[in-house]
Each structure stands twice: as structure tokens, then as C-alpha cells.
Homo-oligomer: A and B are copies of this chain.
Amino acid sequence: MHVRTLCLGALALGDASGYEIKKLFEDGVFSHFSEASFGSIYPALTKLTDDGLLTCQAHSQEGRPDKKVYSLTDLGRAAFQEALSQPIQADKYRSDFLFCLIFANQMPTLRVSEILDNKLKELKEEHNRIEAEGIVPNTPSSDLVKEFGAHVTLSMIEFLEENRLRIEALGCETGACLSTPCEAVG
């Protein structure tokens, strides 16, 4: 899904500036399953406005740059509806943590414990963020999506805690793996 479509969706929740859209992806409703950078949001908004899918109204502010508030046009609303009716791309899950775990036999046990603790900490923070946050909008849809996120995050935490000993046992004994790297395959 293109950043242009993500922006259309963000604006379907209400008018917003580029900065505010970015916050939706950083701390808001979209934060645990979607992302977009300034470098893609700003050009996307310009393009969408040029194509007549958005209108832009500059609110002049004291001291700060003009706040450009974007709104969906009827054309934009229709384009988003169209996007929602398209086939949905498969989810993508990227984990450098799991990638590194594959090579745990080349790490000192201490390092394995460290990355495991970091991952658990990260997951617990994420879980708290999802449950605690007073994210707007608070619709039945966003509640469900948040519950999904909390459920999955908790499931990861459970797995890692239940298998802590097995995971730590994957590491080499101190230092040994550096001098004689264990081959994973013959």
C-alpha cells in the first residue's frame, strides 16, 4: 500500500497537516502496524493535491511555518473507497531479532541474554503503549485493532518468557565462538 493511500486513509479520519499525519503513524491509531516517514508523506500530499484528491488550506501561525491543513475532496474520498476495495497485500513481519537468533550459536551466552532482555523490554513497552494510550479516534474498529495488537504482543512475550532457558542455551560458552565459529551447516 502506497504512502499516498495511507495519507488518504489518515485524512479520512479528519483533516490534518503532514506533521499530524506523521504522528498518527508514530504514536496514533496506525502506530503498531503501519509506518511512513516525512520524506514520503510531504511529497505524497503535494502529489495528491496536484491530482485533485486533496485541498490544502494554509493556517498562518505566529513564529512557526504555516500549518498546511489538508482535506479530502470527493475525488479523494472516492479514490480511497476504491483502494479499500482492492485486494489486500499480505502482512509483512521483519525481525532482526529473529534473524540474529538464528546465529545465536555464534554469540556468547551473555549476548543472547542481552538481546532477549532487550526484546522483552521492547515488547512490554509496546504492549503497555497499546493498552494504556488514549489514542484518538476511539471507534469500535480502532478498539478491535488495538486488542489484536495487544493479544499478539502478549503472545510473543509469553513465548519468549516460557522459552528463556532454551534460548539462552543456544549461545556459545564465553568467547569460544569467536575463535572457532561454529558452523551451522557442514
Contact = CB atoms under 8 A, between A and B. Distances in A.
Interface string A145-186: 101110110011001100100110110000000100100111
Contacts of A178: 81
Chain A contact residues: over half helix, strand or loop, or mixed? helix
A118 B90 CA distance: 10
A32 interface: yes
Contacts of A94: 33-35, 91-93
Contacts of A34: 94-95, 98-99
A23 B94 CA distance: 17
A18 interface: no
Interface stretch (A9-17, A43-51, A54-62, A63-71): A9-17
A88 B116 CA distance: 11
Interface residues of A, number: 69
The complex is assembled from copies of this chain, and their number is 2
A38 interface: no
A91 B81 contact: no
Contacts of A6: 99
A84 interface: yes
Contact of A99 (B30, B95, B148): B30
A21 interface: no
B88 A33 contact: no
Nearest to A139: B184
21 contacts: A1-B96, A14-B185, A33-B94, A35-B94, A81-B178, A81-B181, A88-B100, A91-B95, A91-B122, A101-B145, A102-B139, A102-B145, A104-B141, A136-B185, A140-B169, A140-B170, A144-B166, A144-B170, A147-B159, A148-B163, A152-B156
